[in-house]
């Protein structure tokens, strides 16, 4: 059964910060930091001294080297991912953890060549891949030419598009047409499955356009997901192009998704302490896979590397609660690894997990310092009971350093979702993806207003230089701070 931690202790903490100066990657072992042995016991301040930016960057460099040796990617199901999992396993076994690798099936998706999108009538227009459109991740391969029918679109700023979310949206849809569907409310997978059931031969998705934010105007960075079974080829376009197509009478188009989608097997890597109460598990995770397009050194080498560094240092601390770290596979395919893990547990095993902490993109180069909004005060999307306490702990960490933070919504875009769905208190940190930094945020944290938090999000340029060392330093400490305080019983959550 789920338990509430024991009495909270006042700790009178003085937080010791990491050096944020850029450090070259080094080849250091997990136990060679002077003074970072048994003296970490019982002291969160000492633990934070031992968790270093230098250590995090060592792991980041290892991931970059692995990607470089394996076609520039660490995507799930690829040799680069397998080598990344080997690296994590070897480091955690050396640190003394019990390490397991949990295999599961996943679809390996790849763009194998140039995709095409052309207007056939009322006039001939060829659109540019990467500027106007892109193949939708986890589309099936296909080349179709057909009339195009818009599906319940809602154009203009402030719209709340539910285009394609319900079977009723396709009432009267002509079988054999290409469906033109707008982003919004439900997943692309649901929309495409509904289109397939209505007899569509392909899908053109376009962005929502409900705000002026680039994330809602450009080519949407979303996926059909690993569970997609609609069998249709699909591409995604900018809002401007989609809105234009939706208002073009007599529209026929050719859609060619030049992709490969093959079922394969990949793994999660899970490491847990040999000691501590297994009925009171503190769990922290980060996804290990990149997108096929790049090495994923921020997304999510940053969370994965910080987790290795914290795990290696906290292994030297005797804690009353068991600590379990996880490196998830196939997050980019639709949270596949974490979902498989949680659903494979028995009800009793899920109840033993006191809380889950998620770290996905914590070193974005144009960073914000965001905490998942467990109490719903920022976005109205609350986590399970106890998630508010996790948010409060991270808020306290930033406040003790005199660093401003902001909430970020539980939008279902990362691996906390399966834990939330099963009533496990959840929280974590995020430094931003394709969203755009505001002037107020630039005044808080520095960086450049009007640019994405991570301009290399889901791109080939997400390499070793695509990191803020300052954000990594701050957040690696935050990971250690939260894991230690919960696993030591010095911090309580009220799980109801």
Lowest mean pLDDT among 23-37, 299-313, 479-493: 23-37
Mean pLDDT value across residues 165-191: 94
Q: pLDDT band at residue 42, thresholds of 50, 70 and 90?
A: low
- Four-way CATH pick for 38-108+264-487: 3.30.70.1020, 3.40.630.10, 1.25.40.10, 3.40.50.300: 3.40.630.10
Instruction: Extract the runs of DSSP E, i.e. beta strands, from 258-316.
Output: 259-272, 277-287
Mean pLDDT value across residues 8-37: 36
Q: pLDDT band at residue 30, thresholds of 50, 70 and 90?
A: very low
Q: How far apart, in whole angstroms, are the C-alpha atoms of residue 324 and residue 326?
A: 7
User: Residue 216: its pLDDT value, please?
Assistant: 84
Q: pLDDT band at residue 459, thresholds of 50, 70 and 90?
A: very high
| Percentage of residues in the chain having pLDDT higher than 90 | 80
| Cβ within 8 Å of residue 172, ≥6 positions away | none
Q: pLDDT band at residue 494, thresholds of 50, 70 and 90?
A: confident
The DSSP symbol for 406 reads: E
Q: pLDDT band at residue 29, thresholds of 50, 70 and 90?
A: very low
Read off the pTM: 0.80
Every domain of the chain and the residues it spans: 38-108+264-487, 114-257
pLDDT at residue 1 greater than cutoff 70 = no
Task: Dig out the tokens for 81 from the structure.
Answer: 């991912």
Mean pLDDT value across residues 277-282: 97
Sheet holding 142-150, edge to edge: 125-126, 116-121, 252-257, 142-150, 178-182, 202-206, 234-237, 133-135
Q: How far apart, in whole angstroms, are the C-alpha atoms of residue 186 and residue 178?
A: 19
Mean pLDDT value across residues 339-356: 98
Which of 89, 331, 354, 470 does the annotation list as catalytic?
331
User: Residue 21: its pLDDT value, please?
Assistant: 30
How far separated are the first and last CA of the chain, in Å rounded?
A: 12
User: Residue 24: its pLDDT value, please?
Assistant: 28
pLDDT at residue 41 greater than cutoff 60 = no
The pLDDT tens digits of the residues spanning 382-401 come to 999 999 999 999 999 999 99
pLDDT at residue 209 greater than cutoff 50 = yes
Please give the CATH topology (third level) of the domain spanning 114-257.
Glucose Oxidase; domain 1 (3.50.30)
Helix ranges (H only) for 207-273 are 239-246
| Percentage of residues in the chain having pLDDT higher than 70 | 91
Whole-number average pLDDT of the chain: 90
What radius of gyration do the chain's Cα atoms show?
23
Comparison of pLDDT for 293 and 478, the residue scoring more: 478
User: Residue 33: its pLDDT value, please?
Assistant: 54
Strand, coil or helix: what is 100? Answer: strand
The pLDDT tens digits of the residues spanning 64-88 come to 999 999 999 999 999 999 999 999 9
User: Residue 161: its pLDDT value, please?
Assistant: 77
The interaxial angle of helices 469-487 and 53-68, nearest 10 deg, is 110
Beta carbons of 317 and 50 less than 8 angstroms apart: no
User: Residue 496: its pLDDT value, please?
Assistant: 63
The reply to whether 331 belongs to the active site is yes
């Amino acid at each position: 059964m789920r338990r509430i931690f024991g009495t909270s202790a006042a700790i009178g903490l003085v937080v010791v910060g990491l050096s944020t100066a850029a450090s070259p990657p080094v080849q250091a072992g997990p136990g060679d930091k002077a003074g970072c042995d048994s003296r970490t016991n019982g002291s969160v301040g000492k633990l934070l001294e031992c968790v270093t930016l230098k250590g995090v960057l060592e792991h980041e460099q290892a991931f970059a080297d692995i990607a470089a040796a394996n076609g520039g990617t660490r995507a799930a199901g690829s040799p680069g991912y397998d080598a990344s999992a080997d690296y994590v396993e070897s480091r955690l076994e050396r640190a003394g953890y019990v390490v397991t690798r949990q295999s599961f099936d996943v679809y390996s998706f790849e763009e194998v060549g140039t995709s095409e999108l052309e207007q056939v009538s009322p006039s001939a227009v060829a659109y540019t891949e990467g500027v106007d459109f892109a193949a939708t991740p986890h589309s099936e391969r296909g080349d179709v030419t057909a009339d195009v029918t818009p599906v319940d679109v809602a154009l203009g700023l402030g719209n709340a598009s539910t285009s394609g979310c319900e079977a009723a949206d396709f009432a009267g849809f002509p079988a054999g047409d290409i469906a033109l569907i707008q982003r919004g409310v439900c997943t692309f997978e649901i929309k495409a499955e509904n289109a397939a059931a209505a007899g569509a031969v392909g899908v053109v998705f376009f962005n929502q356009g409900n705000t002026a934010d680039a994330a809602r105007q450009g080519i949407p960075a979303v996926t059909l997901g690993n569970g997609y079974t609609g069998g249709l080829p699909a591409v995604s376009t900018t809002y401007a192009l989609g809105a234009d197509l939706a208002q073009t009478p007599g529209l026929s188009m050719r859609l060619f998704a030049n992709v490969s989608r093959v079922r394969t097997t990949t793994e999660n890597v899970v490491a847990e302490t040999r000691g501590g109460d297994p009925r009171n598990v503190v769990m922290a995770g980060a996804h290990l896979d990149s997108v096929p397009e790049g090495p994923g050194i921020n997304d999510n080498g940053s969370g994965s590397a910080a987790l290795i560094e914290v795990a290696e240092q906290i292994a030297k601390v005797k804690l009353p609660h068991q600590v379990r770290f996880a490196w998830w596979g196939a997050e980019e395919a639709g949270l596949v690894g974490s979902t498989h893990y949680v659903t494979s547990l028995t009800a009793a095993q899920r109840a033993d997990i006191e809380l889950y902490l998620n770290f996905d993109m914590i070193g974005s180069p144009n960073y914000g310092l965001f905490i998942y909004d467990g109490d719903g005060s920022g976005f109205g999307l609350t986590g399970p009971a106890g998630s508010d306490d996790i948010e409060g702990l991270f808020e306290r960490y930033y406040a003790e350093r005199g660093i401003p933070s902001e909430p970020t919504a539980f939008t279902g875009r990362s691996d906390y979702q399966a834990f939330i769905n099963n009533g496990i208190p959840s929280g974590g940190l995020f430094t931003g993806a394709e969203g755009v930094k505001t002037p107020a945020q630039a005044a808080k944290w520095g960086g450049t207003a009007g640019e994405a938090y991570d301009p290399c999000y889901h791109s080939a340029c997400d390499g070793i230089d695509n990191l803020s060392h300052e954000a990594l330093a701050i957040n690696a400490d935050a990971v250690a701070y939260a894991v230690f305080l919960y696993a030591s019983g010095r911090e309580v959550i009220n799980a109801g």
